[in-house]
A = this chain, B = another copy of it.
Amino acid sequence: MTDLLAEAQGLDARDPLAAHLDEFVDAPGVTAYLDGNSLGRPLRSLPERLAEFVRDDWGTRLIRSWDEQWMDLPTELGDRIGRVAIGAAAGQTVVADSTTVLLYKLMRAAVAASPDRTEILIEEGNFPTDRFVAEGVAAERGMTVRWLTADPVHGVQLEDVAAAVSERTALVVLSHVDYRSGALADMKAITDAVHSASGGVGAGALMLWDLCHSVGVIPVELDACGVDLAVGCTYKYLNGGPGSPAFAYVNARHHGVLRQPIQGWMGAGDVFAMKSEYAPADGIRQFISGTPPVLGMLAMQGMLDLIETATIDGVREKSKTLTEFAVRAFDDVLAPLDVRLLSPRDAENRGGHVTIGHPDFAEVTKTLWPDGVIPDFRFPDGIRLGLSPLSTSHVEVLSGVLAVRDALGS
């Protein structure tokens, strides 16, 4: 234990991003927040940013702010996420709606593009909302959902996808980082496999990546990987706040071809068109439907500043030392108590969280939360240690692991 503490302290002392820990709002009574991958912590600068927004942009500029800045915010902020976090050139990313609604829009757009294809391929352990949307879209289009089985710890593998994709496949939907195990999928190889199996880029099945558990914690290279479509949320590692809007990426080669179904004024070429017929805006803007949720787009901007300063590669480096240290602490402290590691051992195959399992973890979580040790419980018996690199220290990870041990012992 002494060794682990010394190691944690040493890692923190050498952490080039340690200074950022102070930039987040204090959480009195919280000794270990290990759920930054469900809800990132707010920045200390946020209340003043919000107050300024209320006073100036909203309260004084009033409706004029729509012309002056808000109308382009969804695409400007999308471009910024593209540049800072997901390797997307400008004009392909937009902030809007929720992940669920954007999944619906993109899946509908994707399957309509190849009406002869009858299957949506999705991993059976994918996040519920991804599965629910896929089922719904398949049902309304008379299509079939083909379920891909993946190893619960190591996640979806290239071979699994390559074997399942066929000329019947319209769309493949996968998570880049598995929400349970943290397993990292090989985006480039899988995207290539989906494309080549179906006759080359743009000619057949499309690949939609869910980036909810990778955006902001691990470099993503959508353009370089030739990805067709992606969605992600902004309240995890982008710290946008509870229910902050999601983002969608549609590769430029599909603009003007793919059409999303929720035709709204803010995605129209002419927002106030008097004529009756909807004509979509050019480019990524047509994936917007209703009025952009401006207030919900503010908090993430501060976090994007921070990630830009730290660089996404720097964030990834710290993420690896955090999860590697979590695994070492697990080995020393929890494995002897029959806790199982439910994440890949090699940091290269893992995103920003580590999941561990024990039959008592539902009870353990109930004990820990009121005491200010806050991991995430995952049915049936998993605890997810979500380690948001810019707001989490190695000592905090150790506190959490020790608290789990103590709760198991009691």
Contact = CB atoms under 8 A, between A and B. Distances in A.
Interface centre among A25, A271, A291, by most chain B C-beta atoms within 10 angstroms, is A291
A106 to B, nearest CB: 12
Contacts of A30: 60, 62
B135 A278 contact: yes
B25 A289 contact: no
Interface centre among A65, A66, A132, by most chain B C-beta atoms within 10 angstroms, is A132
A277 B374 contact: no
A38 B291 CA distance: 11
A263 interface: yes
Interface in A99-150: 99-101, 104, 124, 127-129, 131-133, 135-136, 140, 145, 147
A340 to B, nearest CB: 18
Contacts of A27: 59-60, 62
A128 B268 contact: yes
Interface stretch (A43-51, A159-167, A352-360): A43-51
A261 interface: yes
Interface string A259-277: 0011111101001111011
A202 interface: no
Nearest to A141: B140
Interface centre among A70, A127, A245, A299, by most chain B C-beta atoms within 10 angstroms, is A245
Interface in A63-96: 63-66, 70
A264 B129 contact: yes
A140 B242 contact: no
A357 B379 CA distance: 62
A294 interface: yes
B262 A133 contact: yes
A215 B310 CA distance: 46
Nearest to A290: B98
A293 B291 contact: no
Interface string A22-44: 00111111100101001101100
A100 B46 contact: no
Interface residues of A, number: 83
Interface string A240-253: 01111110000000
Interface centre among A41, A58, A277, A374, by most chain B C-beta atoms within 10 angstroms, is A58
B263 A136 contact: yes
A244 to B, nearest CB: 7
B291 A99 contact: yes
A136 B278 contact: yes
A239 B343 CA distance: 46
Given A99-B290, A101-B290, A129 B265 contact: yes
A243 B292 contact: yes
Contacts of A209: none
A261 B97 CA distance: 15
Contacts of A100: 262, 264-266, 289-291
A369 to B, nearest CB: 6
A13 interface: no
Interface of A: 24-30, 33, 35, 38-39, 41-42, 46-47, 50-51, 54-55, 58-60, 62-66, 70, 97-101, 104, 124, 127-129, 131-133, 135-136, 140, 145, 147, 233, 235, 241-246, 261-266, 268, 271-274, 276-278, 289-296, 299, 369, 374, 376, 378-380
